[in-house]
Amino acid sequence: MLYKKKWPLFLFLVPGLLFLLVFLYIPFVENIKNSFYEMASVVKMPGQEFEFIGIDNYKRLFTDPDIRVAMANTLKMMVLTVIFEVGIAFVLAVMVSQIKKLQQLFRTVYFFPVVISATAIGLLFKLFYNYNGGMLNQILEALGKEPVLWLGPELAFAMICVPTLWSYIGFYFVILLTGLSDIPDDIYEAASIDGCSKFKQVFYITLPSLKPVFFTSVTLAVTGALKVFDLPWVLAPNGAPQGLTHFLGTYMYQTAYGLNNYDYASTQALLIVVLGVVVSKGVGMLTADKDEKVAAKAKRARAKGVA
Protein backbone atom coordinates (compact mmCIF):
# COMPACT_ATOMS: atom_id res chain seq x y z
CA MET A 1 0.00 0.00 0.00
CA LEU A 2 1.34 3.39 -1.04
CA TYR A 3 -0.52 5.33 1.64
CA LYS A 4 -1.24 3.74 5.00
CA LYS A 5 -3.23 6.64 6.33
CA LYS A 6 -6.20 7.55 4.15
CA TRP A 7 -7.34 10.74 5.82
CA PRO A 8 -4.76 13.01 4.12
CA LEU A 9 -6.25 11.91 0.79
CA PHE A 10 -9.66 13.13 1.89
CA LEU A 11 -8.08 16.39 2.97
CA PHE A 12 -6.95 16.97 -0.61
CA LEU A 13 -10.19 15.71 -2.15
CA VAL A 14 -12.54 17.87 -0.09
CA PRO A 15 -11.61 21.31 -1.62
CA GLY A 16 -12.38 20.01 -5.11
CA LEU A 17 -15.65 18.58 -3.87
CA LEU A 18 -16.56 21.85 -2.18
CA PHE A 19 -15.75 23.77 -5.36
CA LEU A 20 -18.03 21.53 -7.41
CA LEU A 21 -20.71 21.72 -4.74
CA VAL A 22 -20.72 25.52 -4.70
CA PHE A 23 -20.30 26.19 -8.40
CA LEU A 24 -22.07 23.21 -9.97
CA TYR A 25 -24.35 21.12 -7.80
CA ILE A 26 -26.01 23.86 -5.73
CA PRO A 27 -26.67 26.01 -8.85
CA PHE A 28 -28.00 22.89 -10.56
CA VAL A 29 -30.49 22.24 -7.75
CA GLU A 30 -31.33 25.97 -7.76
CA ASN A 31 -31.89 25.73 -11.51
CA ILE A 32 -34.41 22.92 -11.04
CA LYS A 33 -36.18 25.00 -8.39
CA ASN A 34 -36.26 28.04 -10.67
CA SER A 35 -38.00 26.09 -13.41
CA PHE A 36 -41.09 25.89 -11.17
CA TYR A 37 -41.28 29.66 -10.55
CA GLU A 38 -42.11 32.70 -12.64
CA MET A 39 -38.86 34.65 -12.37
CA ALA A 40 -39.32 38.38 -12.88
CA SER A 41 -35.54 38.93 -12.79
CA VAL A 42 -32.41 36.82 -12.96
CA VAL A 43 -31.86 37.08 -9.20
CA LYS A 44 -34.32 37.74 -6.43
CA MET A 45 -34.28 41.41 -5.47
CA PRO A 46 -34.73 42.32 -1.79
CA GLY A 47 -38.40 42.00 -0.87
CA GLN A 48 -39.23 40.28 -4.15
CA GLU A 49 -41.04 36.94 -4.31
CA PHE A 50 -41.27 34.71 -7.37
CA GLU A 51 -44.66 33.22 -8.19
CA PHE A 52 -44.92 29.41 -8.09
CA ILE A 53 -46.20 28.17 -11.46
CA GLY A 54 -45.84 24.39 -11.03
CA ILE A 55 -45.09 22.48 -14.20
CA ASP A 56 -46.20 25.20 -16.64
CA ASN A 57 -42.72 25.49 -18.12
CA TYR A 58 -42.54 21.71 -18.64
CA LYS A 59 -45.91 21.77 -20.40
CA ARG A 60 -44.59 24.55 -22.62
CA LEU A 61 -41.67 22.32 -23.65
CA PHE A 62 -44.17 20.07 -25.41
CA THR A 63 -45.98 22.87 -27.24
CA ASP A 64 -43.11 25.20 -28.13
CA PRO A 65 -42.34 24.89 -31.88
CA ASP A 66 -38.89 26.47 -31.42
CA ILE A 67 -37.76 23.85 -28.92
CA ARG A 68 -38.83 21.18 -31.40
CA VAL A 69 -36.57 22.78 -34.03
CA ALA A 70 -33.73 23.06 -31.51
CA MET A 71 -34.15 19.43 -30.40
CA ALA A 72 -34.31 18.13 -33.98
CA ASN A 73 -31.19 20.12 -34.95
CA THR A 74 -29.32 18.86 -31.89
CA LEU A 75 -30.22 15.23 -32.65
CA LYS A 76 -29.22 15.72 -36.29
CA MET A 77 -25.94 17.22 -35.09
CA MET A 78 -25.33 14.13 -32.90
CA VAL A 79 -25.66 11.83 -35.90
CA LEU A 80 -23.55 14.11 -38.07
CA THR A 81 -20.75 14.32 -35.50
CA VAL A 82 -20.48 10.53 -35.43
CA ILE A 83 -20.51 10.21 -39.21
CA PHE A 84 -18.39 13.19 -40.16
CA GLU A 85 -16.23 14.05 -37.14
CA VAL A 86 -15.37 10.52 -35.98
CA GLY A 87 -15.76 9.00 -39.47
CA ILE A 88 -13.51 11.43 -41.32
CA ALA A 89 -11.08 11.49 -38.39
CA PHE A 90 -10.83 7.70 -38.63
CA VAL A 91 -10.15 7.74 -42.38
CA LEU A 92 -7.52 10.45 -41.97
CA ALA A 93 -5.93 8.68 -39.00
CA VAL A 94 -5.67 5.39 -40.92
CA MET A 95 -4.09 7.12 -43.90
CA VAL A 96 -1.66 9.18 -41.82
CA SER A 97 -0.67 6.09 -39.80
CA GLN A 98 0.36 4.39 -43.05
CA ILE A 99 2.95 7.02 -43.93
CA LYS A 100 6.26 7.62 -42.21
CA LYS A 101 7.36 10.82 -43.93
CA LEU A 102 5.54 14.05 -43.05
CA GLN A 103 3.38 12.26 -40.45
CA GLN A 104 4.15 14.94 -37.88
CA LEU A 105 3.17 17.67 -40.36
CA PHE A 106 -0.22 16.06 -41.04
CA ARG A 107 -0.80 15.57 -37.31
CA THR A 108 -0.22 19.27 -36.74
CA VAL A 109 -2.20 20.43 -39.77
CA TYR A 110 -5.28 18.36 -38.93
CA PHE A 111 -5.18 19.20 -35.23
CA PHE A 112 -4.70 22.93 -35.79
CA PRO A 113 -8.42 23.92 -36.08
CA VAL A 114 -9.01 22.52 -32.57
CA VAL A 115 -6.79 25.18 -31.01
CA ILE A 116 -8.56 28.06 -32.80
CA SER A 117 -11.46 29.46 -30.81
CA ALA A 118 -14.93 28.69 -32.09
CA THR A 119 -15.67 32.42 -32.15
CA ALA A 120 -12.77 33.06 -34.51
CA ILE A 121 -13.84 30.19 -36.77
CA GLY A 122 -17.40 31.50 -36.70
CA LEU A 123 -16.29 34.98 -37.76
CA LEU A 124 -14.07 33.48 -40.46
CA PHE A 125 -16.93 31.48 -41.97
CA LYS A 126 -19.24 34.46 -41.64
CA LEU A 127 -16.90 36.28 -44.01
CA PHE A 128 -16.98 33.29 -46.37
CA TYR A 129 -20.78 33.16 -46.36
CA ASN A 130 -21.57 36.89 -46.56
CA TYR A 131 -24.10 37.59 -49.27
CA ASN A 132 -22.57 40.97 -50.12
CA GLY A 133 -18.89 40.49 -50.91
CA GLY A 134 -18.40 37.19 -49.04
CA MET A 135 -15.60 34.95 -50.32
CA LEU A 136 -17.87 32.26 -51.76
CA ASN A 137 -20.05 34.76 -53.59
CA GLN A 138 -16.98 36.57 -54.91
CA ILE A 139 -15.84 33.28 -56.46
CA LEU A 140 -19.30 32.69 -57.91
CA GLU A 141 -19.41 36.21 -59.32
CA ALA A 142 -15.95 35.75 -60.85
CA LEU A 143 -17.34 32.66 -62.58
CA GLY A 144 -20.27 34.70 -63.85
CA LYS A 145 -22.82 33.09 -61.56
CA GLU A 146 -25.49 34.64 -59.32
CA PRO A 147 -24.61 35.10 -55.63
CA VAL A 148 -26.10 32.54 -53.27
CA LEU A 149 -27.76 33.26 -49.91
CA TRP A 150 -25.57 30.79 -48.02
CA LEU A 151 -27.34 31.40 -44.72
CA GLY A 152 -30.82 31.38 -46.25
CA PRO A 153 -33.49 29.05 -44.83
CA GLU A 154 -32.60 26.16 -47.19
CA LEU A 155 -28.84 26.10 -46.70
CA ALA A 156 -28.26 27.62 -43.26
CA PHE A 157 -28.24 24.41 -41.21
CA ALA A 158 -25.78 22.71 -43.55
CA MET A 159 -23.60 25.80 -43.69
CA ILE A 160 -23.45 25.95 -39.88
CA CYS A 161 -22.68 22.22 -39.65
CA VAL A 162 -19.67 22.48 -41.99
CA PRO A 163 -17.40 24.58 -39.71
CA THR A 164 -18.83 23.01 -36.53
CA LEU A 165 -17.92 19.51 -37.71
CA TRP A 166 -14.70 20.53 -39.45
CA SER A 167 -13.26 22.29 -36.42
CA TYR A 168 -13.40 19.13 -34.27
CA ILE A 169 -12.21 16.48 -36.71
CA GLY A 170 -8.62 17.05 -35.57
CA PHE A 171 -9.53 16.24 -31.97
CA TYR A 172 -10.83 12.76 -32.84
CA PHE A 173 -8.05 12.35 -35.40
CA VAL A 174 -5.43 12.60 -32.64
CA ILE A 175 -7.34 10.23 -30.32
CA LEU A 176 -7.76 7.62 -33.06
CA LEU A 177 -4.18 8.01 -34.30
CA THR A 178 -2.93 7.35 -30.76
CA GLY A 179 -5.15 4.26 -30.69
CA LEU A 180 -3.76 3.11 -34.03
CA SER A 181 -0.17 3.39 -32.82
CA ASP A 182 -1.02 0.91 -30.03
CA ILE A 183 -1.88 -1.85 -32.53
CA PRO A 184 1.26 -4.09 -32.84
CA ASP A 185 2.90 -3.99 -36.30
CA ASP A 186 3.43 -7.78 -36.33
CA ILE A 187 -0.33 -8.34 -36.76
CA TYR A 188 -0.25 -6.29 -39.98
CA GLU A 189 2.96 -8.05 -41.09
CA ALA A 190 1.41 -11.45 -40.50
CA ALA A 191 -1.70 -10.39 -42.42
CA SER A 192 0.44 -9.13 -45.32
CA ILE A 193 2.32 -12.44 -45.48
CA ASP A 194 -1.05 -14.22 -45.58
CA GLY A 195 -1.98 -12.04 -48.58
CA CYS A 196 -4.40 -9.68 -46.86
CA SER A 197 -4.69 -6.38 -48.75
CA LYS A 198 -4.23 -3.02 -47.01
CA PHE A 199 -7.94 -2.30 -47.47
CA LYS A 200 -8.97 -5.58 -45.82
CA GLN A 201 -6.49 -4.99 -43.00
CA VAL A 202 -8.45 -1.90 -42.05
CA PHE A 203 -11.66 -3.90 -41.69
CA TYR A 204 -10.27 -7.05 -40.12
CA ILE A 205 -7.47 -5.69 -37.96
CA THR A 206 -7.68 -1.92 -37.48
CA LEU A 207 -11.40 -1.53 -36.81
CA PRO A 208 -11.77 -4.42 -34.31
CA SER A 209 -8.58 -3.42 -32.47
CA LEU A 210 -9.66 0.19 -32.30
CA LYS A 211 -13.15 -0.45 -30.92
CA PRO A 212 -12.62 0.87 -27.37
CA VAL A 213 -11.02 4.09 -28.66
CA PHE A 214 -13.71 4.35 -31.32
CA PHE A 215 -16.50 4.10 -28.77
CA THR A 216 -14.85 6.65 -26.51
CA SER A 217 -14.72 9.02 -29.48
CA VAL A 218 -18.39 8.38 -30.27
CA THR A 219 -19.38 9.10 -26.66
CA LEU A 220 -17.40 12.34 -26.67
CA ALA A 221 -18.80 13.37 -30.06
CA VAL A 222 -22.43 12.67 -29.17
CA THR A 223 -22.30 14.44 -25.81
CA GLY A 224 -20.28 17.26 -27.39
CA ALA A 225 -23.10 17.80 -29.91
CA LEU A 226 -25.38 18.65 -26.99
CA LYS A 227 -23.07 21.49 -26.00
CA VAL A 228 -22.83 23.09 -29.45
CA PHE A 229 -23.27 26.80 -28.89
CA ASP A 230 -20.52 29.30 -29.66
CA LEU A 231 -19.95 28.68 -33.34
CA PRO A 232 -23.63 28.65 -34.42
CA TRP A 233 -24.25 31.69 -32.21
CA VAL A 234 -21.51 33.69 -33.90
CA LEU A 235 -22.43 32.52 -37.38
CA ALA A 236 -26.21 32.83 -37.12
CA PRO A 237 -27.35 34.49 -33.86
CA ASN A 238 -30.86 33.92 -32.50
CA GLY A 239 -31.24 30.76 -34.59
CA ALA A 240 -31.11 32.82 -37.76
CA PRO A 241 -32.69 32.66 -40.22
CA GLN A 242 -36.18 32.54 -38.80
CA GLY A 243 -35.19 30.39 -35.79
CA LEU A 244 -34.38 27.44 -38.07
CA THR A 245 -30.82 26.90 -36.86
CA HIS A 246 -31.43 26.83 -33.14
CA PHE A 247 -29.68 24.16 -31.11
CA LEU A 248 -30.66 23.42 -27.52
CA GLY A 249 -27.75 25.55 -26.27
CA THR A 250 -28.45 28.56 -28.46
CA TYR A 251 -32.18 28.48 -27.79
CA MET A 252 -31.61 28.27 -24.03
CA TYR A 253 -29.23 31.23 -24.22
CA GLN A 254 -31.67 33.30 -26.26
CA THR A 255 -34.52 32.46 -23.89
CA ALA A 256 -32.44 33.46 -20.86
CA TYR A 257 -30.55 36.50 -22.06
CA GLY A 258 -32.42 37.57 -25.19
CA LEU A 259 -35.94 37.31 -23.80
CA ASN A 260 -35.10 37.41 -20.06
CA ASN A 261 -37.29 34.35 -19.55
CA TYR A 262 -35.03 32.79 -16.94
CA ASP A 263 -37.45 30.19 -15.60
CA TYR A 264 -38.21 28.70 -19.02
CA ALA A 265 -34.48 28.75 -19.80
CA SER A 266 -33.90 26.83 -16.54
CA THR A 267 -36.35 24.21 -17.76
CA GLN A 268 -34.47 23.95 -21.05
CA ALA A 269 -31.17 23.63 -19.16
CA LEU A 270 -32.61 20.69 -17.23
CA LEU A 271 -33.74 19.11 -20.50
CA ILE A 272 -30.18 19.40 -21.86
CA VAL A 273 -28.73 17.78 -18.73
CA VAL A 274 -31.27 14.94 -18.78
CA LEU A 275 -30.69 14.38 -22.49
CA GLY A 276 -26.91 14.39 -21.92
CA VAL A 277 -27.13 11.80 -19.15
CA VAL A 278 -29.49 9.57 -21.16
CA VAL A 279 -27.42 9.76 -24.34
CA SER A 280 -24.07 9.18 -22.67
CA LYS A 281 -25.54 6.32 -20.66
CA GLY A 282 -26.99 4.82 -23.84
CA VAL A 283 -23.72 5.02 -25.71
CA GLY A 284 -21.88 3.71 -22.63
CA MET A 285 -24.16 0.66 -22.45
CA LEU A 286 -23.70 0.02 -26.13
CA THR A 287 -19.94 0.16 -25.70
CA ALA A 288 -19.91 -2.12 -22.69
CA ASP A 289 -22.05 -4.73 -24.44
CA LYS A 290 -19.81 -4.77 -27.49
CA ASP A 291 -16.69 -5.14 -25.37
CA GLU A 292 -18.17 -7.93 -23.35
CA LYS A 293 -19.23 -9.73 -26.50
CA VAL A 294 -15.74 -9.41 -27.97
CA ALA A 295 -14.17 -10.61 -24.73
CA ALA A 296 -16.53 -13.59 -24.54
CA LYS A 297 -15.81 -14.51 -28.17
CA ALA A 298 -12.07 -14.34 -27.60
CA LYS A 299 -12.40 -16.49 -24.49
CA ARG A 300 -14.38 -19.11 -26.38
CA ALA A 301 -11.87 -19.08 -29.24
CA ARG A 302 -8.99 -19.54 -26.83
CA ALA A 303 -10.78 -22.41 -25.06
CA LYS A 304 -11.31 -24.17 -28.42
CA GLY A 305 -7.66 -23.63 -29.33
CA VAL A 306 -6.49 -25.24 -26.10
CA ALA A 307 -8.84 -28.18 -26.61
Partner 1 sequence: MKKKVLSVLLVGAMTASMFAGCGNDGDKAAGADGANGGDAAPVTEESGDAADAEAAGNPVTLKTVSMFGGTDPNAEVYAAINDEFMAENSHVTIEDNSQTSDEEWKAAVNADFSVGNEPDVIQFFTDATADTIIATDKLVSVEEIRAEYPDYAKDTLDSALAAAANTDGVQRAVPTTGYWEGLFCNKDLFDQYDLELPTDWASLEKAITTFKENDIIPIACSLNNVPHYWIEFLMLYAAGPEEYTTVPETAPEGWIKGLEMFKTLRDMGAFPADTDTVDDAYVGQLFRDKKAAMQLDGSWYAGNIEDTENTVVIPFPGVPDQKAEAGSLVGGISSGFYITRKAWEDPDKRDAAVKFVMAHTSQEGVQRYWETTGAVSQAAVAVTPVDGATPFAQSIAEYTSNASVIVAPTDSRIGDAYKTLVAQIVKVSTGATTAEDAINEALGVMQ
Report the relative pairing of strands 51-52 and 37-38 from DSSP bridges.
Answer: antiparallel
243 — alpha (psi -120 to 50), left (phi > 0) or beta? left
**Residue 22 touches partner 1, criterion: CB under 8 A:** no
DSSP H or E segment with residue 242: none
DSSP result, 125-164: HHHHH-TTT-HHHHHHHHTT-----TTSTTTHHHHHHHHH
- Greatest alpha-carbon span in the chain: 81
Site membership for partner 1, residue 250 (CB under 8 A) = no
Q: Is residue 230 part of the contact set for partner 1 (CB under 8 A)? A: no
Tell the smallest beta-carbon distance from residue 272 to partner 1 (Å).
20
Please tell me whether residue 63 binds partner 1 under the rule CB under 8 A: no
Our CA angle for 269, 257, 28, nearest 5°, is 30
What single DSSP character describes residue 205? I
Q: Does residue 42 touch partner 1 according to CB under 8 A? A: yes
Are 85 and 168 in contact by the 8 Å Cβ rule? The answer is: yes
Q: Shortest gap between Cβ of 227 and partner 1 (angstroms)?
A: 20
> Using CB under 8 A, which of 32, 53, 136, 149 touches partner 1?
149
For residue 47, state whether it binds partner 1 (rule: CB under 8 A): yes
**Is 261 a binder of partner 1 (CB under 8 A)?**
yes
Q: At 50, which amino acid appears?
A: F
Per-residue x/- marks for partner 1, 160-199, CB under 8 A?
A: ----------------------------------------
- Window contacting partner 1 (CB under 8 A); options: 10-18, 24-32, 54-62, 239-247: 239-247
Q: Does the protein bind partner 1 through residue 45 (CB under 8 A)?
A: yes
Among 8, 16, 46, 305, binds partner 1 (CB under 8 A): 46
DSSP 246: -
Q: For residues 169 and 85, is the Cβ–Cβ distance under 8 A?
A: yes
Query: Which residues between 122 and 141 bind partner 1 (CB under 8 A)?
Result: 130-132
Q: Using the rule CB under 8 A, is 119 a contact of partner 1?
A: no
- Residues in touch with partner 1 (CB under 8 A): 40-48, 130-132, 149, 151-153, 156, 236-238, 240-243, 254, 257-261
